[in-house]
Amino acid sequence: MPRAARRAVTAAAEYAVPRAGLVVVRALDRDVVGQAHHPRGAAGRVTAWEMTWRPSNRQRSAWAVALLDVQPADRVLEIGFGPGLAVAQLVRAGAGHVYGADHSAVMVARASRRNAAAIRAGRVTLVRAPVGQLPAALDGPFDAILAVNALAFWPEPAQRLAELRGRLAPGGRIAVVSQPRAPGATAASSARAASDIGDLLQQAGFTGLRTETLPLSPPAVAVLAAGPGQGSRRLA
Ligand SMILES: C[S@@+](CC[C@H](N)C(=O)[O-])C[C@H]1O[C@@H](n2cnc3c(N)ncnc32)[C@H](O)[C@@H]1O
């Protein structure tokens, strides 16, 4: 079966089969990690559709945005925005301006379509770029930075996080969210992910770490941390 068709069957089946069948269905799709890393072509468009409509993705994204506690004047940067759910939620939450970078052309197209009105209104700027080569338009400073199920794909993640820290305004904060998607992932996988993220954030110079958990299956974890300055105004 061609790859795109296999992914379409996989994604559609996720909505049709009960949870027990989900593990089997996803195991059929050996391409899932590659597409999550860099969605491309027809298979990438199916991945975008799946990321958009999977209920746990939508819940996780809304939760992550709520944790950031955005304020009306906040400039927020999301790295690895995928189909742009969180970008739209950040706009609805009242962020002053939402910036985003993703290295996938498919995802930039999807997210730009989803957020077309906000882009036209000058409230959203989305660019195609890898996290290690952000353009000057994303120099910041930002009040908040968000990455949801994205950090695990970055080369040299501690270095990337240190660069992002340099783009935060004094008192700025970051939220790095993970919900392990490997077949068989459990609450223990989520706890390990939170610990790994915390270590990377500390190596990158972030302080005041706080971990939150959303009870999905497996749980989503968010590690929030303060950037430069005297700790984030909004991490308490
Ligand atoms: C698993 S998806 C998550 C998408 C979205 N944050 C969500 O939760 O639905 C990971 C996203 O990160 C992007 N990505 C992965 N590595 C990247 C990198 N080095 N630079 C920029 N984007 C990257 C991928 O293109 C993809 O859109």
Atom of ligand 1 nearest to the CA of 155: 19
**Residues 176, 204: contact at Cβ < 8 Å?**
no
Same domain, 81 and 114: yes
Q: What is the CATH number of the domain that holds 195?
A: 3.40.50.150
Global pTM value: 0.85
Same domain, 91 and 112: yes
Asked if residue 232 belongs to a domain, the reply is no
Low-confidence ranges of the chain (pLDDT < 70): 1-34, 230-236
Give 141's DSSP letter: -
Kindly give the distance from the C-alpha atom of residue 230 to the centroid of ligand 1, in angstroms, as a whole number: 30
- Count the Cβ atoms, other than its own, within 10 Å of residue 101: 22
Asked if residue 234 belongs to a domain, the reply is no
Same domain, 17 and 60: no
Same domain, 39 and 111: no
Number of domains in the chain: 2
pLDDT of 139: 96
Asked if residue 231 belongs to a domain, the reply is no
pLDDT of 17: 38
The Cα 93–Cα 97 span in angstroms is 11
What residue's CA is closest to ligand 1, atom 11?
A: 80
Tens-digit pLDDT profile for residues 169-212:
999 999 999 999 888 999 999 999 999 999 999 999 999 999 99
Asked if residue 18 belongs to a domain, the reply is yes
Sequence-separated contacts (24+) of 155-162 with Cβ below 8 Å: 156/132, 157/200, 158/200, 158/203, 158/204, 159/132, 159/204, 160/131, 160/132, 161/200, 161/201, 161/203, 161/204, 161/206, 162/203, 162/204, 162/205
Q: Which of 37, 49, 145 is the best mutation target for the ligand 1 pocket, counting ligand atoms within 8 Å of the beta carbon and taking the most?
A: 37
- Tell me the residue range of the domain where 30 lies: 3-54
